[in-house]
Amino acid sequence: MKQTASTFTGLTDMTVPNDIAKLVAQLSLEEKASLLSGKNFWETMDIPRLGISSLFLADGPHGIRKQQAAADHLGLNVSVPATCFPTAATIANSWDVKLVEQMGKYLGVEARSLGVNVLLGPGINIKRNPLCGRNFEYYSEDPYLTGKLAAALVRGIQSEGVAACVKHYAVNNQETNRMAINAIVDERALREIYLTAFEMVVKEGAVQTLMTAYNRINGVYANEHSYLLRQILREEWGFTGLVVTDWGGSNDRIDGLLASSDLEMPGTNGESDRELVAAVQSGRVAESYLDESVSRLLYLAKNTSRIPENNHEISFDVRAHHEVARHIAEESIVLLKNQGNLLPLQKGQRVAIIGDFARSPRYQGAGSSNVNPTQISTLLGAAQQAGIQLVGFEPGYERYGKRNQSLQKRAINLAKKADVVLLCIGLDEASEAEGLDRPHMRLPDNQIELLGALQSVNPALVVILSCGCAVEMPWIGTVPAVLHAYLSGQAGAEAIVNIITGKVNPSGKLAETYPLRYEEVPSATLFPGKEATAEYRESLFVGYRYFDRFPEKVLFPFGYGLSYTSFSYRDLQISEEGVSFVIQNTGRWDGKEIAQLYVRKKASSLFRPEKELKGFIKVFIKAGEEQRVFIPFDEYTFRVFDVLNKTWSVEEGEYEILVGASSRDIRLRGNWYKKGHMVLSPCDPASLISYYTGDPARVSREEFQYLMEAPLPSDRWDRTRSLSYNDTVAQCQYAKSCFARLVFHIIDFLPPFFRKIGMRNQANLIMMSFYYMPFRGITKMMGGMVNRAMAEGLLVIANGHFFKGIKHIVKEYIKLRKAGYAKYRT
Ligand code: BGC
């Protein structure tokens, strides 16, 4: 898809500051091109003759991953120590905008002190399906909650002079085949579910940079998507910042530039510069496009000019930051069950701690967000420090799932001696990783067996769960108490202990729905898209938007969480500005309540979810006291995307205003008439029955096609054609060359083999790094050692011409060596 758009909607000629315009005017075409891709894996180019220095970009969303030596985008090589805060999935449960902003500030302080100009986070993709491997890095199934919290994190980070980078724009909701998958999504789901949080982060967070996703959306790579980048991001939302590719996520550099993607990362050692220069010289692209992108880059450099260069030394208060991480975890951990008030522990109770996670915590996920923590607390250590009367500790199970009877026996014996058993279970680190989706929603069998055995000898069992996502809990009926710590960062264990001892009253509430079984998830049968496409047939019906139609399928609803106290709600008042009501703490503990505002359109010509979150507030109320709180309406409260007119609109009519303690615990209701417009459906409702009144999990291909108003592309790879630049190693299974097929079969054989012999990390690595790697990725991720022409040689081999391909590669290699890479880069 070639684009000719010429409107420059970021820094316009009018708004480019003089000093930047002057700098740009002094740059040669080659220098401009060189500024638009990395100097190396993490830095942008510098041009000393003009005093232009490199910018340092580093992950990530919950702690700084600044690599000093070997660089990678999967968190494999070590990075400088930094505070590992709780991951996004965890902090989302705090529903606390101020707290998240504070965390952003601390991230900003650390990033600045480590010489990082751009922090690659927050990641705000919507949790479409609980098995997405990166859900631990994302906030919620709900765009409003995601947007509010992520905008706060961005404000915090940027208040320290560091630029945040919101990612991955957009519709990046699975890890399987993430660099090539084509997400097929209808316009309303795109706007109302998948883009809204980005819009909020742009408008309310004033984020300075944005990372495009690897995948395609309705056929076009995110990084080249003019509609998403130029039209929506820049023109509609007014984003004036820098757009950067995900690492290796540039497909066609020129189409990317035309769509207003500014910076390609990591560097390709001049390969991309040559493409840009050639495109200008041939007239395919006007030099003004480069000027625009370079201006945005220089503007960013100016905005982050307080950052010291290349600082690898820690110069922040490590202890104080650890305390902040603990406090954030305390606000985010969710008490799911507490029958008979088993928690908090009573003074003098004899406690057994069981579970490997108690001595070696699960506190973050794997991949590019992996932080090298400054210190790590363990539950065992924290419990001892807190003076819990321990009768002992047993690991109870093998961390990576192997059955071990003797570990189990020892744990059972210990449990018999205790008044209360704390059982620490969850998912191991290889189960939640970037680049991979989870194969199922269960906990390891050996942990469940242990749970059953312990429960039969000591029913006073408190399950402490550590994982960054929703899991099935078929065993929940057999245990009295469950505390979900999520991935609570380096100080998480201290936070857990403070909650179980009652020093802190739990106040987190779930930012995602827990279905009873994975099969109940609306996208279950279509997730992940495995070959060419991922069809988002459920449209708007993600999370509670779906489960509200089928409440019987839910274990824990969106917005749910317990406290040691209880709250009552009364006296709802509605005005043009918002809603106010009284919350009373009716229990014996001081505590915090998260009240949620949902809105429902009573009669509509469009299909709509039962209700949608439009506001929330977290308040501290002392035992026995009450407080009147106010939740404002805003531009998101009543809007709906009008597909026919391609605009946001308010449908006139009667709305129900719902205030609740969770999405299924609505305490107050009122009606509100909203003036607006008539919004019509572009499609005949009679042909969209599943969406209007049926089951959006059972949408047929025909019905979805009708919603999409266009023929659907095949969801399978086209096995008849030759392999091309954007095809993946996985597609070599049907390559013409038997050599390529052999390579594929080796790569295909290794992960299950490694898993069988217990080397799960190695298995994951192959899946992450090779299996779904497109040929273009080889050129983009090897620092310019392999260029496009050489990758084409590989394709010639894969397509059945072995010797011709080898000859081509050797010829291109010699050419590349002779050209001496890019001279102006040295
Ligand atoms: C991830 C990004 C990350 C980048 C750099 C990519 O693989 O998708 O989220 O920021 O690597 O590490």
Report d(CA 724, CA 732) in Å as an integer: 11
Q: Nearest 5°: phi and psi at 567?
A: -130, 145
247 CB within 6 A, ligand 1: yes
Question: Using an 8 Å Cβ cutoff, are 235 and 227 in contact?
Answer: no
In a domain, residue 251? The reply is no
CA of 85 to the centre of ligand 1 (A): 18
The pLDDT, as a whole number, for residue 2 is: 35
CA of 167 to the centre of ligand 1 (A): 9
The three state secondary structure string of 551-582 is: HHHEEECCCCCECCCCEEEEEEEECCCEEEEE
In a domain, residue 86? The reply is no
Report d(CA 502, CA 504) in Å as an integer: 5
Query: Residues 653, 520: one domain?
Result: no
Report d(CA 466, CA 86) in Å as an integer: 12
Last residue of a domain, one of 512, 535, 558: 535
**What is the residue with the minimal CA distance to atom 11 of ligand 1?**
73
**What is the residue with the minimal CA distance to atom 7 of ligand 1?**
73
Question: Which atom number of ligand 1 is nearest to the Cα of residue 75?
Answer: 12
Q: How far is CA 267 from CA 41, 45, 784, in A?
A: 6, 9, 7
Q: Which ranges of the chain have pLDDT less than 70?
A: 1-14, 820-826
User: What is the total residue count of the chain?
Assistant: 826
Q: Could you say which of 246, 262, 548, 642 is catalytic?
A: 246
246 CB within 6 A, ligand 1: yes
For residue 519 the two structure tokens come to 């099969």
- The DSSP output letter for 39 is S
Element (H, E) at 704: helix 701-708
Last residue of a domain, one of 617, 648, 678: 678
- The DSSP output letter for 490 is T
For residue 572, the domain's CATH number is 2.60.40.10
Last residue of a domain, one of 678, 702, 720: 678
Question: Using an 8 Å Cβ cutoff, are 460 and 303 in contact?
Answer: no
CA of 487 to the centre of ligand 1 (A): 19
Question: Using an 8 Å Cβ cutoff, are 427 and 447 in contact?
Answer: no
In a domain, residue 626? The reply is yes
- 87, 434, 765, best to mutate for ligand 1 pocket (most atoms within 8 Å of CB): 434
For residue 438, the domain's CATH number is 3.40.50.1700
Residue type, 778: I
- The residue to which tokens 């420059």 are assigned: 8
In a domain, residue 396? The reply is yes
Query: Residues 525, 670: one domain?
Result: no
Among 505, 503, 471, 501, smallest CA distance to 486 is for: 471
Between helices 738-756 and 788-798, what is the axis angle to 10°? 90
What sign for the dihedral angle of Cα 673, 678, 680, 686? Answer: positive
The pLDDT, as a whole number, for residue 12 is: 53
- For residue 600, give the 3-state DSSP assignment: strand
∠ Cα 71 815 245 (to 5°) = 35
Question: Using an 8 Å Cβ cutoff, are 86 and 329 in contact?
Answer: yes
Question: Using an 8 Å Cβ cutoff, are 553 and 520 in contact?
Answer: yes
Q: Nearest 5°: phi and psi at 279?
A: -65, -35
The pLDDT, as a whole number, for residue 3 is: 35
- The residue to which tokens 């290349």 are assigned: 310
Element (H, E) at 583: strand 578-585
Q: Domain of 802?
A: 729-819
In a domain, residue 444? The reply is yes
Question: Which atom number of ligand 1 is nearest to the Cα of residue 178?
Answer: 8
The pLDDT, as a whole number, for residue 416 is: 98
For residue 239 the two structure tokens come to 């984003």
Question: Which atom number of ligand 1 is nearest to the Cα of residue 214?
Answer: 8
- 134, 243, 246, best to mutate for ligand 1 pocket (most atoms within 8 Å of CB): 246
- The residue to which tokens 């550590």 are assigned: 466
Residue 734 has, within 13 A of its CA and on its CB side, a CA count of: 12
The pLDDT, as a whole number, for residue 821 is: 54
Report cis status (omega within 30 of 0) of the bond before 168: yes
In a domain, residue 394? The reply is yes
Query: Residues 455, 396: one domain?
Result: yes
- 244, 247, 767, best to mutate for ligand 1 pocket (most atoms within 8 Å of CB): 247
Instruction: Give residues with Cβ within 8 angstroms of 366, minimum separation 6.
Output: 75, 429, 430, 432, 433, 434, 764
Query: Residues 649, 736: one domain?
Result: no
**What is the residue with the minimal CA distance to atom 5 of ligand 1?**
73
Report d(CA 431, CA 364) in Å as an integer: 11
CA of 229 to the centre of ligand 1 (A): 19
Query: Residues 498, 381: one domain?
Result: yes
In a domain, residue 651? The reply is yes
CA of 538 to the centre of ligand 1 (A): 28
Among 42, 65, 75, smallest CA distance to 433 is for: 75
Helix segments in 160-305, DSSP class H: 187-188, 196-205, 226, 253-258, 271-281, 287-303
For residue 578 the two structure tokens come to 């918002």
Question: b vs e for 270-299, b when ≥16 Cβ sit within 10 Å of the residue's Cβ?
Answer: bbbbbbbbebbeeeebeeebbbbbbbbbbb
Query: Residues 346, 402: one domain?
Result: yes
Quick: pLDDT tens for 729-773. 999 999 999 999 999 999 999 999 998 888 888 888 888 888 999
Residues pairing with 433 in the sheet: 366
Residues pairing with 728 in the sheet: 774
Query: Residues 510, 606: one domain?
Result: no
Residues pairing with 659 in the sheet: 597, 668
368 CB within 6 A, ligand 1: yes
- 59, 243, 767, 781, best to mutate for ligand 1 pocket (most atoms within 8 Å of CB): 59
> How many of the other CB atoms lie within 10 Å of CB of 149?
31
Query: Residues 663, 733: one domain?
Result: no
Query: Residues 609, 495: one domain?
Result: no
Between helices 802-819 and 788-798, what is the axis angle to 10°? 170
Query: Residues 519, 581: one domain?
Result: no
- The DSSP output letter for 239 is -
Residue 339 has, within 13 A of its CA and on its CB side, a CA count of: 12
Report d(CA 717, CA 180) in Å as an integer: 11
Question: Using an 8 Å Cβ cutoff, are 129 and 173 in contact?
Answer: yes
59 CB within 6 A, ligand 1: yes
Query: Residues 464, 611: one domain?
Result: no
Q: Is 246 annotated as catalytic?
A: yes
In a domain, residue 301? The reply is no
The pTM of this model reads 0.96
Domain count, the chain: 3
Query: Residues 622, 477: one domain?
Result: no
- For residue 209, give the 3-state DSSP assignment: strand
Residues pairing with 338 in the sheet: 481
Residue type, 387: G
Side-by-side strand order, sheet with 461-466: 334-338, 481-484, 461-466, 420-426, 351-354, 390-394
